[in-house]
Amino acid sequence: MSSERIFNIFVYFDAGVAREYGIRHHRISGTDDEKTEYLRLRVDADHALARRFTLPRAFTPEQWRAAQRHGDVLGFFEEGLAHFHAGRSPVFGQTPIVDGQPAIDVIIGAEPFRGDQVSALPGQGAVPDYLVDYASGSEIRFTELINDDYFKAIRALFNAKLYVSSAKLLMSCIDTLAFTEYGDVPGNFSRWIETYVDLTPNGITGEELWEFRNSILNMTNLASRKVIAGKVSPILPYVGTLATLPALATGAKPFNLFGLITSVADGIGRWGDSYNQDRDKFLTFIERYDLTVSDSRMASYPYPRESPPDAAPRP
C-alpha cells in the first residue's frame, strides 16, 4: 500500500474570531480510516507546529459552523494546500483551536455538516435538517421552507377561522425572518417589512404594523403604548372580500388580514431571492436559522413513555 501526504488543518480562534489557519502534513501509508485516526491523534502536537496562512475572511465560531453546514470548506484553505502541493482530494483533518486549545464537539468528514447527523450520537434522536430537505446545490428553496415551517400553520389557523391566532403567528413569522436577515437588533421587524413587503395594497404603514405586532403578541389587544398616546394610528384586521375599508370614526384603520398574509408571502419570495444571490449572506442565513425551531423540525427522541395526550388541558 503506497504512502501519501495527509494534512492536519487548524482554524485558530483568538478572542472569538478566526483570521488564520494552519497546516501540518505527514506522509504515511494505510487505509483512509487509519490515516484519519493518525491525524486525530496528532492534533495536540500538530496545532502549535503548523504553518499559518491568512483566511480569506474572518469567522466567528458560529460563522465557521455555518460555512461547514453550507458545503466543502477546503476552498478557504486553497493557498495553504497549494503551498504543500496537495492533490485534488487530500486526506485531511480539520480542527478548531480556541484560544490555544483544540475544541472538538463532533467528528465529521469532508462532506457538509448536516444536522441530521446528530442522530448518530447516542440518545440524541433524529433531527430533520432543512439543508437536506430544501437545498438544491448551493441554493435553498426558501418559499417551500418558510411555507412548511410557518405558513402551513398560519393558513390552518386562518381556514379554521382562528383569525387572531393566525395574525399572531404571522407577526411571529416576520420576527423570525427579520432576525434571520438582520440579527437581534432594534428595528429589524420594520426594516424587513420596508425592504421586502409592499404594504400599499393593504392601506397601512410599516410603523402601524409594528405597533399592531407589539400589542397583538404581547397583550392580545390592539392598543400599544404609542397607539394609546396617539402617536400612531391603530389598525385592526378584518376578513372579507373587500380589499380595503374606510377608517372608522375612532380613527382606527381596518386592514384585510388575508391581503396582509398575501403581501408578506410575496415579500418572502423577494427575500429568498436576495439570499440565493450572495454566498456570504447565505452563510449568515444558516448561522441564524439554525437557531430557530419549527413543527417540521422536531426531533424523534427514542424514549419509552406514555403517548402524549390528545389535547391540552383546559385553563
Please tell me the predicted confidence (pLDDT) of residue 119.
44
Average pLDDT over residues 98-125: 61
Q: Which distant-in-sequence residues (6+ apart) come within 8 Å of 243 by Cβ?
A: 201, 256, 259
pTM: 0.79
Residue 310, phi then psi, degrees to nearest 5:
-70, -25
Average pLDDT over residues 228-246: 90
Q: Does residue 117 register a pLDDT over 80? A: no
Average pLDDT over residues 307-312: 67
Phi-psi label, residue 55: left if phi above 0, alpha if psi -120 to 50, beta otherwise: beta
| Confidence grade of residue 123 (pLDDT, cut at 50, 70, 90) | low
Give dist(CA 42, CA 289) in Å, integer. Answer: 34
Query: Length of the chain in residues, anyone?
Result: 315
Cell numbers 436559522 correspond to 289
Q: CA of 23: how far to CAs of 74, 92, 184, in Å? A: 12, 10, 36
Please tell me the predicted confidence (pLDDT) of residue 121.
47
Q: Does residue 122 register a pLDDT over 60? A: no
Q: Does residue 54 register a pLDDT over 90? A: yes
DSSP state of 69: H
SS3 label, residue 28: strand
Q: Which of 40-44, 204-208, 270-274, 310-314 has the weakest average pLDDT?
A: 310-314
Instruction: Look up residue 143 and give its three cell numbers.
Output: 418559499
Q: Does residue 125 register a pLDDT over 70? A: no
Please tell me the predicted confidence (pLDDT) of residue 188.
96
Please tell me the predicted confidence (pLDDT) of residue 307.
62
Report whether 169 contacts 157 (CB < 8 A). yes
Q: Which of 97-101, 159-163, 192-196, 278-282 has the weakest average pLDDT?
A: 278-282
Q: Does residue 166 register a pLDDT over 60? A: yes
SS3 label, residue 100: coil
> Higher pLDDT residue, 234 or 109?
234
The closest of 303, 286, 301 to 129, measured between CA atoms, is 286
Give dist(CA 30, CA 73) in Å, integer. Answer: 25
Average pLDDT over residues 289-311: 72
